[in-house]
Structure 1
Amino acid sequence: MLELTVKGIKQARALIWNTFKELEEHELEALSQDFPNPHFLIGPFHKFFLASSRSLLTQDQSSLSWLDKHPPNSVLYVSFGSLVKVEESQFLEIAWGLANSKQPFLWVVRPGSVEGSEWLERLPDGFLERIVEGRGYIVKWAPQQDVLAHRATGGFWTHGGWNSTLESICEGVTMICSPSFGDQLLNARYVSDVWKIGVKLEDGFERGEIQSAIKKVMADEEGLEFRNKIRNIKGKVNLCLKKGGSSYSSLEDLVNYFLSF
């Protein structure tokens, strides 16, 4: 499959990327050596249209009113996207990791995302008692871009898919990454080791590591460093989309490229 993808890319007249120059300039320069086709970096794509127009599932807007009740940067948002499934044992570790962290959290549990469960039947005994006084809120699906942009959201525990990674970067929200397959593995490594705007869980879903990662991202001094770095990148996003910015100019170049045929 990868070989066919590379072959197809080499045959393409041009390549359009959902990224921006300031984030991956060196990577794209290296890629251009092997793929001399014209490259157009016009992302982030999601900034060009409303989030609600892309959602595959019904978004629970009550998550936003719940966030309104919390202080700035205090809530951990947890969502593993529209495809990832977890085993029951992993689900239990996630639940106890969240409960033991004592950090407010908004948790998206997609129906059918837990093996052998329709929705919340596998929540461990005693879990709900541990998250009293509004410390945790569970929904089937959330308006992710609005959640990430909310002042109360201070961290994002994600599967590390590119769309989610880019959306988090655009809103300046630090990340905990639990990659499963494909590009998620590389994205997570970039978050933790290259851009240094979050952490990657190295041992899968283990409650002790989960609790430690949440503390590191949300409370420790290292989390403040992550936040400063990602807010710096967020500023570059805002500039690249304005007239004269890198993505704005690349989009103009793409239009002119189409008109040249």
Structure 2
Amino acid sequence: MEGTMKQTSKLGRRLLLFPAPFHGHLNPMLQLATLLYSKGFSITIIQTPYNPINLTDFPHFTFCSFHNSLLESYSKSPPPDTVTVISSMDTCCEAFRDCLSQILRETAAADTDTDGCKEHIAALIADPMWKFVGSLTASINLPRLVLRTGSISALLVYLSLPSLREKGYLPARDNNLDEILPELSPLKVRDLPLEWPHHLLETFVRETETSHGVICNTFEELESYATAQVKRSLPIPIFPIGPLHKQSPTSDTSIWAQDQTSITWLNKQTPKSVLYVSFGSVATMSKAEFLELAWGLLESMVPILWVVRHGLIQGSEVNNSLPEGYLDMLGERGHFVKWAPQLEVLSHPAVGGFWTHNGWNSTLESICEGVPMLCQPIFADQDMNARHVSDGWKIGMKLEKGIKREEIARSIRKLMLEEGEEMRSRITALKEKATLCVKEGGSSYTSIERLTSYLLSF
């Protein structure tokens, strides 16, 4: 155990939170922890050695860090693909059990407070990627909720996979990829997680279905249909309380240092002129794809702020991958960083578009800042998110023809110069709904109040 138990909460309740060790999962869990701490709960975070949280950023939380040799080895060298890391998470079961037992012992041994009351652990909130947590908590009668860090629309798809197989949509065939799924419109067969191992998705679903409730980083006005369908499918409470980053800002658990020259450069650009390009913390592309992307950006003639992080290009570094003379040709029209303060960038008046992989956090952040998107999904739920952005909410454009420089340049100009205003009008309306939903009386505000009461019932 790192640190000691902080003083008991105002409510006499402690919550345990167990995030999956990925950037896009850690941040929402820490935002949730900050929000619940503000409601009076004490917070203990259980974490692994892979992408560890900087404890000094969260002095008001208690941390229990356990060791796992496999995840430790991944943290010291370029990690394998995401699916391999997720599969290796199964090896953490015994270490997690020991960590949980230690927390329970220390809580039981803790002194009473000045009122003679003893704090108790109300519940554990876990990422459903941890497939062993449900059975462990059930064996000791510890209530468990899950935090859904992706969209609720994607959760509806995962719940629908057996039905899609029964109806013949899966396995997918070359002649049905462009079929729209009637129950899941505007999704097409090609948008489903076709390459993602379905046994992992079935694990996520099982851990969700057997929990005491699902906390979702979304808001009802954005995903009303999916929210209603999931509520019908699951006999447990559903709490859409997002966008979490709007109501519980935390220190960013960024894996890399954020380059503030992003903002300095943006300050010199004209309003709505810059395309921000970032594909998240884990996506990779081939050197050939990277070169097509680079030439497409150059030919678009649009100012660009481009995040080229370590590991983006398979087996290369950016300095060795850019065409000779590229930086001279781009000149002052472009700026490269290894990692950017994304929320600051998206809220900057110079930014007029976001070329994104459509991870759910990036998608939500773009909506909340009213920035239309150019969508290039890469894996997992990103194809589904991109389809909702382009064909559902109509607040962006999906690159349907692959990474080809001519298509890239044409799409950028279309987003930034031709159709951007219509998309910006629609996304501004969603931005206003995202702002209102977390204010008193709003849908997410009300859902948070329900969640607080529910946790106090344990």
After TM superposition, the score normalised by the length of structure 2 is 0.56
Counterpart of 1:36 (choices 221, 235, 239) is 235
After TM superposition, the score normalised by the length of structure 1 is 0.96
Q: Please give the secondary structure, in 2, of the residue aligned with 1:176.
A: strand
> Distance in 2 between the 1:89 and 1:80 partners?
16
Q: 1:97-116: CA deviations, max 9, x gaps?
A: 00000000000000121112
> Aligned pair count?
259
1:84, distance to aligned residue in structure 2 (A): 0.5
Counterpart of 2:367 (choices 149, 166, 169) is 169
Counterpart of 1:7 (choices 200, 206, 218) is 206
| Maintained 8 Å contact 2:221/2:433 | yes
> Distance in 1 between the 2:394 and 2:231 partners?
25
1:234 counterpart residue number: 431
2:320 counterpart residue number: 121
| Maintained 8 Å contact 1:51/1:145 | no
Counterpart of 1:111 (choices 310, 315, 318) is 310
> Distance in 2 between the 1:53 and 1:116 partners?
28
What letter matches 1:18 in structure 2? Answer: N
Q: Please give the secondary structure, in 1, of the residue aligned with 2:320.
A: coil
1:83, distance to aligned residue in structure 2 (A): 0.2
Which range moves more in the overlay, 41-50 or 157-166? 41-50
RMSD across aligned positions (CA): 1.1
> Distance in 2 between the 1:53 and 1:199 partners?
28
Q: Please give the secondary structure, in 2, of the residue aligned with 1:21.
A: coil
1:126, distance to aligned residue in structure 2 (A): 3.0
Q: 1:177-204: CA deviations, max 9, x gaps?
A: 1111111010000010000000111122
Q: Please give the secondary structure, in 2, of the residue aligned with 1:229.
A: helix
| Maintained 8 Å contact 1:112/1:119 | no
1:81, distance to aligned residue in structure 2 (A): 0.4
> Distance in 2 between the 1:7 and 1:111 partners?
35
Q: Please give the secondary structure, in 2, of the residue aligned with 1:112.
A: coil
1:51, distance to aligned residue in structure 2 (A): 5.6
Which range moves more in the overlay, 65-74 or 51-60? 51-60
Gaps of 5+ in 1: none
What letter matches 2:432 in structure 1? Answer: G
2:215 counterpart residue number: 16
1:78, distance to aligned residue in structure 2 (A): 0.1
Matches within 5 A, 1:13-92: 13-50=212-249, 52-92=251-291
Counterpart of 1:100 (choices 299, 318, 333) is 299
| Greater Cα radius of gyration, structure 1 or 2 | 2
Counterpart of 1:218 (choices 413, 416, 434) is 416
Q: 1:21-63: CA deviations, max 9, x gaps?
A: 1100111101122112111011111123446432221000011
The structure whose RCO (Cα within 8 Å, separation 6+) is larger is 1
1:94, distance to aligned residue in structure 2 (A): 0.7
| Maintained 8 Å contact 2:357/2:375 | yes
Percent sequence identity over aligned pairs: 53
Distance 1:86 1:44, change over 3 A: same
> Distance in 2 between the 1:4 and 1:143 partners?
33
- Answering whether residue 457 of structure 2 is matched by residue 260 of structure 1, we say yes
| Maintained 8 Å contact 2:247/2:438 | no
2:391 counterpart residue number: 193
> Distance in 1 between the 2:218 and 2:209 partners?
19
> Distance in 2 between the 1:171 and 1:103 partners?
20
